[in-house]
Every structure is written in C-alpha cells, then in structure tokens.
C-alpha cells in the first residue's frame, strides 16, 4: 500500500513537473520514400519534391504541433510500429481516442480518409488531428503562429512555399511526406511475375484461399489490396447492434456499421487490427472471418454484415496468415 502511494506520488510529480512524454524518433533512412514501389500507382505516381518531403517529414516527427508539445504524428503513426501505434485505441494530448490508429501505408492511393471515410482528401485529413482536442489539441491559427515564430520552420516555409507558413502549406507539406509512406514490392508480386520460388508452399496455399473460398478479394481487391469501399463486417457490434460507422457522416440507416476497407499491404507490421483495435493478431483476424464475423445469440448475423462463415481447416487458416505476412516485406 505504502509503495503504491509512493509510486503514485512520483508519477504525479513527473506529470506536474512537465517531464515530456517521449515522441518516437525519426529512424527512417535519409532517402526514405524517394523511390516508390513498382506497380502500385495505376497512373503517374505523385512527383517527388525533395524540399516539401523533407519539411513534411520534420513536421511529422515534431511535437511542436500539439498543445502540450508532447504528441507528434509519429506518436500514433510510428514507423517502428508499421505507422500505427500498437495500441487498441490511441492516446493523444487530450486523452484517449475512440478509434484505433490506422497504419499510413499507401494512403497516397486512398480515395477517402478516416475509418468512416469522412475526409475527402489527404491534406484535409492532415490538419484534422492537429486541431482535434483529443489528438493534438492545437487550434490551427496557433499552430501557424508557432511555425512563423520558429527558428527552425519560418525560413523553410518561405523557401518552399514562397510565403509565410499557413494552414494550407502545413497540410500540403505533411501530405507530401505521408504519400511517400508505402508498402509494396512484396514476394507476392515476385511470385505473380513468374518467380515461383518467391512463395513457400504454405504461402501459396494462403494466396489461393485469399483468391477462392476465403473471398477476401471481394473487398481487398486490386494492386493495393483494397477497393477503398466502406463495408459492413460486424466488427465491434454489441448485442447484434452494429457500430455507427459511416452513418456518423451520412446519417443514413443503410450506412450503419460501414467502415473503410484497409489495405492488406504491410499488415503484419501493425497489430492490433480493425477500427476499434479489437483483434489482437492476424490469427484472430482470420478466425473472425472464418466464423463469418460477429454473431449474435442464435447465430444470427449483425444486420447488413456481408460475411458468411468460411469453414476453413486449421491448415488453411495458418496458410492465410502466412500469405498476409508475405505481403508485408
């Protein structure tokens, strides 16, 4: 009891004395993102503007953009954790968010952003966490003031954008870095390109399940393993009632429980999974699909749930997990 009180006193003192929470360091290679993986972009990939990417990268790792200067983008999208944060739901300067922090792999290919697709463009999405009271809690005008007053950034914005820092330039610079966060060139496309030794027997079985009776391709389709649609899979339903999902944006009943289909590229690097972080491993994800998603008593499906039980054998489930890992170089 005494010890507990002592620990509590010390940790309260640490918080009160403003000992900063650690923010993840930038451990990426110097030329990170300069070369994009082959075959991901259907058309021209975004141009590489070294000055913008460098500025966006510095901002991404800088807690300056949060109210208490203790949270950076990387706090919740950490390169060492597959650009997620390894938590069920993320913690920002204002407390705990309701949703799991998604990985940022291949978001340059996204057609809408956030789990319910509420943001139409990447640069609009970029500014949201800065001013969101829970995430970074810094009103945008204050963020802009800080940048203009900063020895580190004031001149950089002038040089890159030929004007003092403003919200638009901030969003643009962050987006320039974020679109370079990619995952591709996996052993799966080497195999598809004719190098049959690139996948083991088990991984090949997994690819086959993905394409056939696993029916994963219905939603995780195309070069980025997502069709960017919003679908109902029952994740997080309570007593047969789906989460709000897309309906929070559209207010339409038919959108209840709809969440954005995430890419499967790089997926092994960022457990836990789903919009609520409720599935702790890829084994748990595959088991979830195998039973046809969330069930309610009497084995009824959650209304709108598009999944059917798959009846995979233990070997087939293991193979599907091995395939997902092969997609994650």
| Residue 274 binds ligand HEC, judged by CB under 6 A | yes
Q: CA nearest 324: which of 203, 218, 211?
A: 203
| Residue 83 binds ligand HEC, judged by CB under 6 A | no
Q: Show contacts with ligand HEC in window 23-42 (CB under 6 A).
A: none
Question: How many angstroms from the chain centroid is the CA of residue 207?
Answer: 23
Q: Least CB distance from residue 328 to ligand HEC, whole Å?
A: 10
Interface residue with ligand HEC, options 218, 238, 311, 315 (CB under 6 A): 218
Phi-psi region of 15 (alpha: psi -120 to 50; beta: other; left: phi over 0): alpha
Buried b (16+ CB within 10 A) or exposed e, 157-168: beebbeeebbbe
| Residue 110 binds ligand HEC, judged by CB under 6 A | yes
| Residue 53 binds ligand HEC, judged by CB under 6 A | no
CA torsion angle for 317, 320, 324, 329 (degrees, to 10)?
Answer: 110
Phi-psi region of 328 (alpha: psi -120 to 50; beta: other; left: phi over 0): beta
168 token code pair: 């638009």
| Distance, CA of 25 to CA of 10 (rounded, Å) | 26
Residue 307 contacts residue 292 (beta carbons within 8 Å): yes
- Return the range that interacts with ligand HEC (CB under 6 A); candidates 1-9, 128-136, 159-167, 296-304: 128-136
Interface residue with ligand HEC, options 67, 69, 81, 135 (CB under 6 A): 135
| Residue 319 binds ligand HEC, judged by CB under 6 A | no
For ligand HEC, the closer of residues 300 and 308 by Cβ is 308
Q: Which residues contact ligand HEC by CB under 6 A? A: 60, 65, 71, 73, 75-77, 90, 92, 97, 99, 101-104, 107, 110, 113-115, 122, 125-126, 129-130, 135-136, 174, 178, 214-216, 218-220, 231, 233, 235, 259, 261-262, 264, 267, 273-275, 285-286, 289, 306, 320
């Amino acid at each position: 009891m005494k010890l507990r009180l002592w620990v509590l006193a010390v940790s309260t003192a640490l918080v009160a004395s403003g000992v900063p929470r650690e923010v993840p360091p930038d451990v990426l290679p110097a030329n990170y993102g300069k070369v994009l993986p082959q075959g991901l972009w259907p058309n021209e990939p975004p141009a590489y503007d070294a000055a913008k990417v460098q500025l966006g990268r510095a901002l991404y790792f800088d807690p300056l953009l949060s109210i208490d200067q203790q949270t950076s983008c990387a706090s919740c999208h950490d390169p060492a954790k597959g650009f997620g944060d390894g938590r069920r739901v993320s913690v920002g300067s204002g407390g705990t968010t309701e949703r799991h922090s998604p990985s940022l792999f291949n978001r340059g290919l996204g057609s809408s952003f956030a789990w319910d697709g509420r943001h139409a463009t990447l640069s609009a999405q970029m500014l949201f966490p800065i001013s969101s009271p829970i995430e970074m809690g810094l009103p945008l005008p204050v963020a802009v003031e800080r940048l203009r007053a900063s020895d580190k950034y004031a001149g950089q914005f002038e040089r890159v954008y030929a004007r003092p820092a403003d919200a638009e330039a901030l969003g643009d610079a962050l987006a320039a870095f974020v679109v370079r966060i990619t995952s591709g060139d996996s052993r799966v496309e080497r195999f598809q390109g004719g190098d049959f030794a690139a996948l083991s027997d088990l991984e090949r079985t997994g690819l086959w399940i993905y394409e056939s009776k696993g029916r994963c391709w219905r939603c995780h389709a195309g070069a980025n393993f997502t069709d960017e649609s919003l679908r109902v899979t029952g994740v997080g339903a309570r007593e047969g009632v789906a989460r709000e999902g897309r309906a929070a944006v559209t207010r339409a009943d038919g959108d209840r429980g709809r969440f954005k289909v995430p890419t499967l590229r790089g997926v092994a690097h960022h457990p836990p999974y789903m919009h609520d972080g409720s599935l702790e491993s890829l084994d748990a994800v595959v088991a979830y699909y195998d039973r046809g998603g969330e069930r309610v008593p009497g084995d009824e499906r959650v209304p709108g749930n598009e999944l059917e039980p798959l009846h995979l054998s233990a070997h087939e489930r293991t193979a599907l997990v091995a395939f997902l890992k092969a997609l994650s170089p």
